[in-house]
């Protein structure tokens, strides 16, 4: 889907659906095994290539009769062997200690903020790159040890291979591991801080919002409902939808498909997924895998999940056991930032069109009122007796009212009135109510 914004009030015009590789990339980013496995395979391939090159170097030196140079290479290799042996013995212990400490840090962060913060660690590029390089260094050093020939002082005239390039690459991998260790520790420490976590969630949510093409002002004409396709897989959350495949199959059969559940909805076997209008339903094998169901939500096609995480962190901060209104104010800062972008975008029903401009897929996404309710409803219930949060809520609503068009002011005005009612019902004195309802972007200074 195009990341360009669409003028407010217009319909969704023809756009290029996301490539199939986008969904695969998102699924791989949600795993922690792919990158380390690929790194181990690359380590074996590099060792095989460099071993062959080292053999050719030795053969060439023997052909030239350069035994003095060959002896120098052997002396270097013998010295490097000590380093390689030490690396192979210590690297696995180093990996275990580093990642054990990291898992403890992630557990602390998930307990203080929200369990969904673990997803940030799993998707972190620096975490995967660090583990990949660590494991590759360990595996490569073991392979290099098998390339050494002879005893402590091998005879230059009898050796067939000197692991020169292999030893140099091992030393390079050790240096890279040390640099990545510093970057990894810095990244893990940031994961334990509220500000960087909120910033990461917000940036991912805004990227997901930018990928969303927008909504249409009116329903396109559809034929009568001719078939319903239900979910036959395991129960789970709708993660993403293969829009391109659905549009292609709908065009091929001359029908319009309507997707029932939204991204993030929980479905069970038998839940209606697609409604067919205007013709015969495409065969089930053509639609297999077009709606991905998993165990938890993702932000790939579900920008509302970002708001859900920000609201969860704010609610935990406002709970009696934590009582951290400053964190709740920081969450409201990011919530207002997200809504200030969404307020100018057309939201609601998505009408995906084929190349000819005909609507082939109708998809429901959260509208403006849904996003506003998700952002403010639960927080308002918990924050009525916390003036720092109510003042930030009032300032955020006032800022959004300045940006909103006339038709989008209604849910904001409703939440503003509900906030006033909640404070008046909770705070007894008139002066206290006036203080709690005074707009302040910092809460209380």
Q: What is the pLDDT of residues 264-278, one digit of tens each?
A: 999 999 898 998 888
**What per-residue confidence (pLDDT) applies to 219?**
55
Q: Which residues contact 239 (CB under 8 A, 6 or more apart)?
A: 263, 292, 293, 294, 297, 298, 300, 301, 302
**What per-residue confidence (pLDDT) applies to 67?**
57
In this prediction, residues 221-243 reach a mean pLDDT of: 83
Give the Cα separation of 365 and 362 in Å (integer).
10
Asked if residues 167 and 80 have their Cβ atoms less than 8 Å apart, the reply is: yes
- The two beta strands, 359-364 and 256-259, are parallel
Give the Cα separation of 291 and 212 in Å (integer).
17
Nearest to 388 by CA among 315, 337, 325, 438: 325
The alpha carbon of 358 is separated from its chain's Cα centroid by a whole number of angstroms, namely: 33
Residue 441: CB atoms within 10 Å: 15
Residue 404: CB atoms within 10 Å: 21
- Lookup result for tokens 């998809």: 363
Highest mean pLDDT among 147-156, 296-305, 329-338, 356-365: 329-338
Tokens standing for residue 127 = 């975490």
Q: What is the pLDDT of residues 198-231, one digit of tens each?
A: 999 999 999 988 887 754 445 555 667 888 888 8
Beta strands in 286-340 (DSSP E): 291-294
Nearest to 198 by CA among 206, 160, 289: 206
**0.85 exceeded by pTM:** no
């Amino acid at each position: 889907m195009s990341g360009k914004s669409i003028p407010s009030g217009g319909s969704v015009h023809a756009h290029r659906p996301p490539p199939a590789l986008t969904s695969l990339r998102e699924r791989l980013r949600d795993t922690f095994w792919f990158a380390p496995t690929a790194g181990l395979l690359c380590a074996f391939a590099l060792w095989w290539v460099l071993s062959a090159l080292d053999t050719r170097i030795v053969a060439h030196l023997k052909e030239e009769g350069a035994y003095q140079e060959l002896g120098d290479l052997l002396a270097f290799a013998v010295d490097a062997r000590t380093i390689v042996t030490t690396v192979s013995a210590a690297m696995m212990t180093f990996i275990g200690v580093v990642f054990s400490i990291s898992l403890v840090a992630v557990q602390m962060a998930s307990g203080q903020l929200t369990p969904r913060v673990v997803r940030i660690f799993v998707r972190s590029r620096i975490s995967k790159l660090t583990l990949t390089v660590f494991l590759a260094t360990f595996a490569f050093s073991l392979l290099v040890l098998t390339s050494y020939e002879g005893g402590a002082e091998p005879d230059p005239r009898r050796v067939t291979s000197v692991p020169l390039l292999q030893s140099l690459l091992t030393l390079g991998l050790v240096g890279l591991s040390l640099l990545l260790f510093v970057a990894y520790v810095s990244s893990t420490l940031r994961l334990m801080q509220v500000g960087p976590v909120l910033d990461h969630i917000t940036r991912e949510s805004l990227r997901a919002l930018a990928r969303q093409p927008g909504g249409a002002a009116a329903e396109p004409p559809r034929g009568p409902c001719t078939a319903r396709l239900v979910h036959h897989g395991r129960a789970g959350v709708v993660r993403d939808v293969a829009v391109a495949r659905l549009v292609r199959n709908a065009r091929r059969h001359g029908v319009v498909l309507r997707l029932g559940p939204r991204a993030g909805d929980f479905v069970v076997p038998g839940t209606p997924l697609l409604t067919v209008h205007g013709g015969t339903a495409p065969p089930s094998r053509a639609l297999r895998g077009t709606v991905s169901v998993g165990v938890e939500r993702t932000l790939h096609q579900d920008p509302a999940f970002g708001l859900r995480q920000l609201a969860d962190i704010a609610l935990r901060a406002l709970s009696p056991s934590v009582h951290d209104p400053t964190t709740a104010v920081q969450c409201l800062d990011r919530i207002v930032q997200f809504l200030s972008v969404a307020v100018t975008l057309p939201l609601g029903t998505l009408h995906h069109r084929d190349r000819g401009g005909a609507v082939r897929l109708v998809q429901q996404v959260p509208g403006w009122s849904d996003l506003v309710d998700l952002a403010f409803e639960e927080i308002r219930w918990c924050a009525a007796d916390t003036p720092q949060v109510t003042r930030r809520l009032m300032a955020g609503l006032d800022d959004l009212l300045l940006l909103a068009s006339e038709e989008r002011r209604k849910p904001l005005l409703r939440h503003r009135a509900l906030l006033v009612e909640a404070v008046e019902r909770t705070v007894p004195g008139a002066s206290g109510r006036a203080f709690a309802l005074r707009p302040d972007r910092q809460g209380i200074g």
